[in-house]
Amino acid sequence: MTGPATKEVATERLLAVRCAMEMFRKASTGRVEGSATVARVGRSALRPAAAALLLAGGFTLSVLAAGPALGGPVASTSTAPSTPASTSTTAGATTTSPAKAVLVVDGHGWGHGLGLSQWGAYGYAKHGWGYDRILAHYYPGTTLGRAKARAVRVLLVSAKKATLSSAVPWTVTDAAGRRARLDPGSLLLKGALVVAGQLALQPPYTFAAAQPLSVNGTPYRGKLVVAGDGKVVQVIDIVGLEQYLKGVVPAEMPSDWAPDALKAQAVAARSYALANLAQGRAFDLYGDTRDQAYGGVKAESASTNDAVDATRGEVVLYAGKVADTLFFSTSGGRTASALESTGTAVPYLVPVADPYDRLSPYHDWGPVVLDAAKAAKALKLSAPIADLQTTTGASGRVLSVTAVADDDSQVTLTGDQVRTALGLRSTWFSPAVLELLPVAKTMTYGGAVSLTGLVHGVEALSLESKTAAVPGWAPAGDLMLGPDGSFATIVRPLATTQYRLVWGDVRAGLARIAVAPRVDATLSPSAVSGSIRPAVAAAAVQLQQQAGTVWTTVSSTVTDTSGSWSFAGAPPAGTYRVRCAPGQGLVAGVSSTLLVQ
Residues 290 and 368 in one domain: no
pLDDT digits 0-9 by tens, 466-483 = 999 888 999 999 999 999
Q: What is the pTM of this model?
A: 0.77
Same domain assignment for residues 186 and 302: yes
How many structural domains does the chain have?
4
Is residue 74 domain-shared with residue 111, that is, in the same domain?
yes
pLDDT at 78 over 80: no
CATH number reported for the structural domain that contains residue 555 in this entry: 2.60.40.10
Instruction: With a cut of 50, say whether residue 21 has pLDDT above it.
Output: no
Name the pLDDT band for 231 (thresholds 50, 70, 90): confident
Does 546 have pLDDT greater than 90? yes
Please state, in angstroms and rounded to a whole number, the distance separating the CA atoms of residues 489 and 457: 20
Which of 66-80, 192-206, 416-430 is least confident? Answer: 66-80
Residue spans of alpha helices (H) in 139-206: none
256 in the same domain as 163: yes
pLDDT of residue 278: 87
* Residues 304 and 396 both lie in one domain: no
| Whether residue 379 has pLDDT greater than 80 | yes
Among the candidates 373, 403, 430, a domain finishes at: 430
pLDDT of residue 64: 26
Q: Is the pLDDT of residue 13 over 60?
A: no
Res 229: pLDDT: 82
Residue 452 has pLDDT above 60, yes or no: yes
- Residue 319 included in any domain: no
Domain check: are 417 and 331 in the same one?
A: yes
Residue with the bigger pLDDT between 435 and 60: it is 435
Enclosing domain of residue 482: 438-516
For residue 23, pLDDT over 80 is answered with no
DSSP-derived secondary structure letter, 482: P
Same domain, 287 and 156: yes
CA–CA distance, 579 with 142 (Å, rounded to integer): 83
Residue 358: what are its φ and ψ, rounded to 5°? -60, -15
Residue 159 sits in the same domain as residue 256: yes
Write out pLDDT tens, residues 287-344: 998 999 999 999 999 999 999 999 999 999 999 999 999 999 999 999 999 999 888 9
Q: What is the mean pLDDT of residues 238-247?
A: 98
- Can you give the pLDDT at residue 324? 98
Q: Tell me whether residue 543 is in a domain.
A: yes
Q: Measure the CA–CA gap between 47 and 74, rounded to whole angstroms.
A: 12
Report residue 39's pLDDT band, with 50, 70 and 90 as the boundaries: very low
CA 220 to mean position of chain CA atoms: 31
Same domain, residue pair 536 and 504: no
Q: Do 345 and 287 share a structural domain?
A: no
User: Among candidates 503, 434, 496, which has minimal Cα distance to 466?
Assistant: 496
Q: Is residue 120 assigned to a domain?
A: no
Q: Which residue has the higher pLDDT, 207 or 17?
A: 207
Q: Does residue 137 lie within any of the structural domains?
A: no
Region 101-125: what's the mean pLDDT? Answer: 97
Amino acid at 512: R
Question: Could you report the per-residue pLDDT of 151-178, keeping only the tens digit for each?
Answer: 999 999 999 999 999 999 999 999 999 9
Secondary structure of residue 10 in the 3-state scheme: helix
**192 confidence band (pLDDT: 50, 70, 90):** low
Q: Which among 7-16, 33-42, 89-98 has the top mean pLDDT?
A: 89-98
Residues 404 and 530 in one domain: no
pLDDT over 50 at 69, yes or no: no
Considering the domain architecture, whether residues 534 and 512 belong to the same structural domain is answered as no
What was the pLDDT predicted at 200? 64
Examine residue 16 and state whether it is found in any structural domain, yes or no.
Answer: yes
How high is the pLDDT of residue 198?
53
Residue 223 confidence (pLDDT) above 50: yes
Say whether pLDDT at 517 is over 50.
yes
Which residues, at least 6 apart from 311, have a Cβ–Cβ distance to it below 8 Å? 131, 263, 266, 267, 270
Residue 350, pLDDT score: 96
Distance of CA 521 to the CA centre of its chain: 58
Domain contains 107: yes
Average pLDDT, the chain: 85
Question: Is residue 136 a part of any domain in this protein?
Answer: no
At residue 60, does pLDDT exceed 70? no
Domain boundary pick from 402, 430, 458: 430
Q: Is residue 121 part of a domain?
A: no
Of 516, 531, 558, the domain-final residue: 516
